[in-house]
Each structure stands twice: as C-alpha cells, then as structure tokens.
Amino acid sequence: MTPIEFSAAERADIAARIKAWFRDELDQEIGRLPAEMLLDFFTKEIGGDFYNRGLYDAQAVVAARADDISEAILGLERARGR
C-alpha cells in the first residue's frame, strides 16, 4: 500500500490544528516539531484505518447508487404486446 503523504502546506495546516487543539483542550503549548511528530505517528499508525473507513463508506455510496440505477432501468421496461 502506498504510504499516506501530505504536501508541505497540508502538513503545516495540520500541525497548526494539532497545536491549537493542545492549547484549547489540554491547556498545553507544543511546538511545531512535536505537532509534526504526532502527525507522523497518527499517519503511520492509524492513518490506514481512517483511509479504509473512507473506502468502505465510498463503496457503500456507490453500491446504493448502483441499486438506484438498476431500479431506474427496470422501471423503463415495457410490457410485451400480445
């Protein structure tokens, strides 16, 4: 599986949000490096779980839409003439 990677801008944004969460929820200040290290940990250790959940959710949406399309096509059937 290809590793989950973020652009430099994405990493900076996520690290800023991690820092803000620590400040707001835990009343602790952490620096950019610890925030990025935490991001790396979560990306490596549980990122795949979130990615897989997204795939399962997308698969469910596609399956529901396929059922809708199948029903719509069946609705187009015409009765055979006698």
The better pLDDT of the pair 71, 19 is held by: 19
This model's pTM is above 0.85: no
pLDDT band, very low/low/confident/very high, at 77 (cuts 50, 70, 90): confident
Q: What angle, 0 to 180 degrees and rounded to 10, lies between the N-to-C axes of helices 32-45 and 47-75?
A: 50
Element housing 58 (H / E):
helix 47-75
CA distances from 33 to 8, 15, 30 (A): 13, 8, 8
**Average pLDDT value over all residues in the chain:** 94
pLDDT value, residue 69? 93
pLDDT value, residue 48? 92
pLDDT tops 80 at residue 82: no
Other beta carbons within 10 Å of 19: 19
